[in-house]
Amino acid sequence: MAHSRLGLAEAWGSLKSMRFNQDKTAFCCAFQDGARVFNLEPIRERAHYTEDQVGSLSVAEMLYRTNLVAMVAGGRKPKFADNSVMVYDDAAQKMVLEFTCPAPVLGVRMKRDKLVVITRNQIHVFSFPNKPTKLFSLETRENPLGLCEVSPMRCGEREVMVFPGFKAGSIQLVDLYTTEQRVSSAPVTINAHKNELVCVAVSQQGGMVATASTKGTLIRIWDTARRVQLVELRRGADQARIYCINFSCGDEWLCCSSDKGTVHVFALQDYRLNKRSALASLGVPGAYAGSQWSLASFTVPQECACICAFGSQGHIYAVCLDGSFHKYHFSADGICNQASYDVITEICEDCDWQQMRHNK
């Protein structure tokens, strides 16, 4: 069934948030009328939770490709309080865990053994899913965007969590592993930007952190062990709202999306692949002339919130708030070719929910 532009707006106007899972093989959407989980290769709906089952939601976060999905209520018809995180078990078809905080929950991050809850001024870390107990809490700067990321994997004995510091534009790094072992591990602060943070990302093993501010022109990459800046990447010259940053699984590439309607791809292991300003070849001094620009890019709907991530075999995905799904193939010579395009609402309408559930 084809959708008109108005139909798309109506169908996706209730979409509150989108998140990729930890290994970027699926993504989860929180709606006013429930939640949906989508597989990426191939693109198809994997699970559908109705408003009657889970209520209206503001946040949904899945744990890898397991049957556990964390949900936060919000919107017109919530089934539980907005200061609680409920964990839904798809196999049991019910909520199986509840984590309650003193303030409304803005975000959730899941690891195989921990659950992190973000509120406006605090971050709470719980053991999970076995014997769920609070491990510790941390105070943060005002964090209305619920910024916080954790490394899906450990880098040796390190397990990195990054979140806003107390100074504008700064980040704090905490080693969850040493904290869990009751070893003193005070947060490390890095002054990443002069303006307020708007987006952070952490690599799979936690060796690198990416940051962007409200200015939206630069993305800075930091070494979490040495606490130094590795490279400065330029998204563009004009101010923009950066929606999403993601590392590739092997830390070879980085992608970002913004309200300019462009997804950019940068090289992280061979900086020579990134483009340079023409001013650099003329020997013009200054940060702008020395910036590294993206080696590849492609367009998505402008001024439409969008998340992006890397798949396998040189593919990159972008999922936009209007329901459009974009899959591109990029190469080191800077060429991006569209591999597929879908509208997820149309995929939904063709799904047999019960059959999908039995096939998981």
Could you tell me where the beta strands, DSSP code E, fall in 192-241? 197-202, 208-213, 218-223, 228-234
3-state helix, strand, coil in the chain (%, to 5): 10, 50, 40
Q: Are 194 and 242 in contact (CB under 8 A)?
A: no
Q: In what order do the strands lie in the sheet with 44-50?
A: 15-20, 26-31, 34-39, 44-50
Say yes or no to pLDDT of 286 above 90.
Answer: no
Cβ atoms 70, 115 nearer than 8 A:
yes
Contacts 24+ apart (CB under 8 A), 47-56: 47/90, 47/356, 47/357, 47/360, 48/348, 48/351, 48/353, 48/356, 49/88, 51/77, 53/93, 54/79, 54/86, 54/88, 54/95, 55/79, 55/80, 56/14, 56/31, 56/32
Check whether 115 has a pLDDT greater than 50. yes
Q: How far apart are CA 182 and CA 262, in angstroms?
A: 44
Q: What is the Cα–Cα distance from 162 to 208, expressed in whole angstroms? A: 10
**177-199 mean pLDDT:** 78
- Give the residue ranges of DSSP H helices in the chain: 5-12, 51-54, 176-180, 278-281, 287-290, 344-349, 353-358
Structure-token pair, residue 148: 């916080």
pLDDT in tens, 33-62: 899 999 999 999 999 999 999 999 999 999
- Mean pLDDT across 82-96: 94
Distance, CA of 31 to CA of 75 (rounded, Å): 9
pLDDT on residue 184? 47
pLDDT at residue 14, rounded to an integer: 79
Q: What pLDDT was estimated at residue 299?
A: 93
What is residue 302's three-state secondary structure?
A: coil
**CA–CA gap between residue 179 and residue 186 (Å, rounded):** 9
* Strand pairing class (208-213; 188-191): unpaired
Confidence of residue 281 (pLDDT cuts 50, 70, 90): very low
Q: In which residue are the tokens 């990134």 written? A: 274
pLDDT at 82 over 90: yes
From the list 200, 171, 198, the residue with the least C-alpha distance to 187 is 171
C-alpha dist (Å) from residue 162 to 18, 137, 147, 269, 332: 20, 14, 8, 22, 30
Asked whether residue 183 carries a pLDDT value surpassing 60, the answer given is no
pLDDT category, 220, cuts 50, 70, 90? very high
> 360: how many CB neighbours lie within 10 A of its CB?
12
pLDDT top residue among 104 and 157: 104
Rounded-to-integer distance, Cα 286 and Cα 288, Å = 6
| Span 230-271, pLDDT tens digits | 999 999 889 999 999 999 999 999 999 999 999 999 999 998
Residue tagged 């971050």 (tokens): 123
Q: Is the pLDDT of residue 9 over 50?
A: no
Which residues, 6+ apart, have CB-to-CB distance to 251 below 8 Å?
A: 203, 204, 205, 207, 208, 268, 269
The torsion angles phi and psi of 278, rounded to 5 degrees, stand at -60, -25
The pLDDT value recorded for residue 347 is 76
pLDDT reported for residue 155? 63
> Looking at residues 282-311, what average pLDDT do you find?
78
pTM attached to this predicted model: 0.86
* pLDDT value for 36: 92
pLDDT band at 163 (very low <50, low <70, confident <90, very high): very high
Residues 6 or more apart from 186 whose CB is under 8 A from it? Answer: none
Residue 11 has pLDDT above 60, yes or no: no
Count other C-beta atoms under 10 Å from residue 122's C-beta.
Answer: 15
Q: 92: buried, middle or exposed (CB in 10 Å: 19+, 13-18, 0-12)?
A: exposed
pLDDT in tens, 136-151: 999 999 999 999 999 9
pLDDT over threshold 80, residue 182 = no
Residue 206 has pLDDT above 80, yes or no: yes
pLDDT at 326: 96
For the segment(s) 5-358, the CATH number from 3.10.20.600, 2.130.10.10, 3.20.130.10, 2.40.50.100 is: 2.130.10.10
Among 194, 231, 230, CA closest to 215? 194
Lowest mean pLDDT among 142-146, 219-223, 301-305, 323-327: 301-305
